[in-house]
Structure 1
Amino acid sequence: MTEGTSTDISALIGAELPYLRRYARALTGSQGTGDRYAVATLEAILVDRSVFESGLSPRVALFRAFHAIWSSAGSPVAEEGSDTLEARAQVHLSGLTRNTREALLLRTIEEMRFDQIAQIMTISQAEAEELVEIAMREMERSVLGRVMIIEDETIIAMDIQSIVQAMGHEVVGVARTRDQAVALGDKERPDLILADIQLADNSSGIDAVNDLLTLMGDVPVIFITAFPERLLTGERPEPAFLISKPYLEEQVRSAVSQAMFFASTESLAA
């Protein structure tokens, strides 16, 4: 392979890497673990670049290389005796049909087409569609809880509330500012937080979430924002679940179902 070709591949990977890292975080429930899988993928590509010569799109090729690593290594195993969110999640994950979570994340969080999922996971398109359907059904009934929404746009807040309630969860309230969010969280102690980044009084949803995590400890968080690039810099801890506006209902349903039992709650820098 020529130096020019190698440079071209590096540029293609660089453009898609933030999204691979997002997927890896959501899949593993941890930024650190997800990034280790992403690094292992890059190392494998350095040794064998053939996946980028297979006629696949650069994004599909990169995710396919990741899945070769992921499939050979298996899902991360929680340490014995651990009682973290990540450890408790493994109990739930062990009951899910094999490969369903991967297919669901590719479909809903990364917005892949079913034919692309099939290429990434080396299965048929029909199998990919079936895996996503099974995953949605299994994960939605796995955990129900109390959800808090931080969103300053009334129509969007109402839409998110409707989606969450239709899934069987209880919405404990909607906050429009950082101060309202902290007060509501302190009072209601929700099981899950859905948060926008930019709030009504120009306060920060990131700051609100950090305040709440300091106050309540481990609570899964999903960011739904029109500014995802603010949380995909690689320069600070990043959320396992990040949905871009405008969102699809199935994206919210997928993220909520998973984050209730498997999410990173690392503090975010302002």
Structure 2
Amino acid sequence: MKKRVEMVVESVNEIALDTVEMTLSNAYVAKNAQSGQFLHLQVEGHSLRRPISIADIDRENGLITMLFKKIGNGTKRLAMYRPGMIIDALGPSGNGFSYDPSMKTALLIGGGIGIPPLYNLGKELRNKGINVIAVLGFQSKEHVFYEAKFNELGETYVVTNDGSYGHKGFVTNVLSQVAKFDYYFSCGPIPMLQAVTKELHDHQGFISLEERMGCGVGACFACVIPTDSEGEYRKICKDGPVFAAKEVIL
């Protein structure tokens, strides 16, 4: 369910190196958003909208929390917004995570800014009595965020590329230490997702793809990805961003 809405900025905080947490209010979006969906934001001074994943949903208070990295002019401008300002948004957009409510344990694997959409999913799973294990990958200690929040959900492994915090290496380096699980859910850069799906090829899982988008509504074909059926493609903005791990070819 998606429509054009106005969202009010409630708070903006830099919570790690170049990583911004922004809370927005809109009762419609908070009521209808699902874990894994995103908002397509119109940033002042930029023609193309920015897709930002939803990290947390507070339905009772009508709030949505997003995290993003300041990596370009658009996100740097977005980080300059202040409480009370209005952001034009399309959303909630895309298809979110689906799962078997009868599963016992879920493994969440996130890399960098791919971690935020897994947080609300983890909260949702815990509220249904499902055990949560999280593996979170970052570049370095300065980039780490939400460790305490994921620790509240279940056993959490933090991995940094340079070994400055937690385990050294990549998320796949600690998967052998993880207890038995039923399904995995992963979001992060394509190289990470390729490594994860290869490592866990015998398990059932779902992946969420990060991708630059044009229209964000499935009309421009700028964010397509091939499927396991020859000659068929899926639109990340409309059919995704979440897919069954074995449905698409990375």
TM-score, normalised relative to structure 2? 0.36
- Point out the structure with the larger helix share: 1
- Point out the structure with the larger strand share: 2
The higher radius of gyration belongs to 1
TM-score, normalised relative to structure 1? 0.34
